[in-house]
Structure 1
Amino acid sequence: MSEPCAWCGDDPLYRRYHDVEWGVPCDDDGKLFEFLVLESAQAGLNWLTILRKREGYRAAFAGFDPNKVAKFDQDKVSQLLDNPAIIRNRKKIESAINNAQRFLEVQGEFGSFARYMWSFFDDRPIQNHWQSLAEVPATTAVSDQISKDMKKRGFRFFGSTICYAHLQALGFVNDHLVSCPRHAACTELGKAFAPKWQ
């Protein structure tokens, strides 16, 4: 009998995230920026902690609009440090603002951030066939390559482990276990995936 990936457990929010979002190929810059902020905030924390604060982040970070976040100043940073709806870590808040600025630079260079990201994959998601959670890597050669390139571009809080979690979440790789019903579903989505620029 097929079972969902065990990592999502029984928490309804986590399960819904697994069943609806995780592993679905994405070429939407708005969502890619949202996850860039959230994944960077996660560093050292449990992803469920971040999911529970997701709407707090949405409100605090201007609906995840990189154009607005890029203009946040030190007064705004001070406000955010007093906001219990997000992780109140100065380095993470400042990195989100910095990353918004770098995100806009990448958009300017490539036409979209999605196009930049998918260029590492020749516009096709990687379909993995893991049998157990123990097989799923924390980093890969491509996450090393992307995080290294993003570091050169000035992004912060986006090392290879965070990068790989980003790739899993946004469907650049299909890391649902083969026993999970979402593996087949995301495989079909991957086969049908045609980025906007194609």
Structure 2
Amino acid sequence: MEKIRCGWSEKDDLYKKYHDEEWGKPVYDDETIFEFLILESFQAGLSWYTILNKRENFRKAFDHFNYKKIAKYSEAKIEELMQNPGIIRNRLKILATINNAQKFMEVQKEFGSFSKYIWDFVGGKPVDNKPKTLKDIPATTEISDSLAKDLKKRGFKFMGSTVVYAHMQATGMVNDHVENCFIR
């Protein structure tokens, strides 16, 4: 019997695998949280499918999302990234990634981990929105508005409420699997 999934994930096997194995599963380790922050910031204005297809290229280009290395990227590394056809070659987003790696470590210093900081916005456990259909899933919420505002205040770039909400979905801070999805 075919599994029933959230409708957005039916495009192909890459999307199905991402939906089944990652999307909406709570993530508490800083390394994975950072990876999704970067991927989501690059997605701004593009489709998640585009980013997912380039994920391995991003992983290689950005030192496996090692924020300590990324925070120290030189102008030469930025130029190398700008020449890499396997990623999204947007200078502002590349610069934002370096900036966000630096800000990420500042938050770690203040809170002990970025995970503790970000999960405090949902009281440490996933918010279950119980959407019946895809139409019931919001693009932003009061929580994503608040988190985006706080990230901006801390100097993060490309972290508007829509990007932040997508990050919350990806890392399981919210459960937006529709009612008839087998994962629910």
2:172 is aligned with 1:171: yes
Aligned residue for 1:181, secondary structure, equals coil
Q: Does 1:63 align with 2:68?
A: no
Is 1:2–1:179's contact at 8 Å kept on the other side of the alignment?
no
Whole-angstrom distance in 2 between the partners of 1:62 and 1:105: 20
Hey, what's the Cα distance between the residues in 1 that align with 2:144 and 2:11?
Answer: 29
2-side partners of 1:10 and 1:164: how far apart? 22
Q: 1:2 to 1:61 in 2, by over 3 A?
A: closer
**In structure 1, how many angstroms separate the alpha carbons of the residues matched to 2:42 and 2:79?**
17
In the other structure, the counterpart of 1:72 is: 73
Partner of 1:12: 13
Match of 2:153 in 1: 152
Amino acid aligned to 1:132: T
* Residue 170 (structure 1) shift: 0.4
Match of 1:27 in 2: 28
Corresponding position of 1:189: none
TM-score under structure 1 normalisation?
0.90
Name the counterpart of 2:107: 106
What is the deviation of 1:3?
A: 1.8
Q: Which runs of 4+ in 1 moved over 6 A?
A: none
Aligned length in residues = 183
RMSD: 1.0
Matching residue's letter, 2:75: Q
Deviations 1:24-65 (A, max 9, x none): 011010000000110000011010100011011111111111
Offset, 1:122: 1.4
- Structure 2 counterpart of 1:171, which letter? G
**Superposed displacement of residue 179, structure 1:** 0.5
Inter-partner Cα distance in structure 2 for 1:56 and 1:141: 34
Query: 1:71 is matched by which residue type in structure 2?
Result: K
Q: 1:186 matched to which residue of 2?
A: none
Instruction: Report the AA paired with residue 158 of structure 1.
Output: M
Return the letter of the residue paired with 1:23: G
Please report how far the alpha carbon of residue 121 of structure 1 lies from its aligned counterpart in structure 2 after TM superposition. 1.3
CA distance in 2, matches of 1:136, 1:14: 18
- How far 1:10 moved relative to its partner? 3.1
Deviations 1:57-82 (A, max 9, x none): 11111111100000001111111000
Could you list the runs of 5+ residues in structure 2 that have no partner in the other structure? Answer: none
**In structure 2, what is the equivalent of residue 92 of structure 1?**
93
- Equivalent position amino acid for 2:21 in 1: V
Residues 113-167 of structure 1 show CA distances to partners (whole Å, capped at 9, x for unaligned) of: 0000011111111112111111110000000000000000000001000000000
Tell me the equivalent position of 1:192. Answer: none
Could you give the per-residue CA deviations for residues 89-127 of structure 1, whole angstroms, max 9, x where no partner exists?
A: 000100000000000000000010000001111111111
Unaligned runs of at least 5 residues, structure 1: 184-198
What is the TM-score with the length of structure 2 in the denominator?
A: 0.97
Matches within 5 A, 1:121-160: 121-160=122-161
1:2 Cα shift?
Answer: 6.4
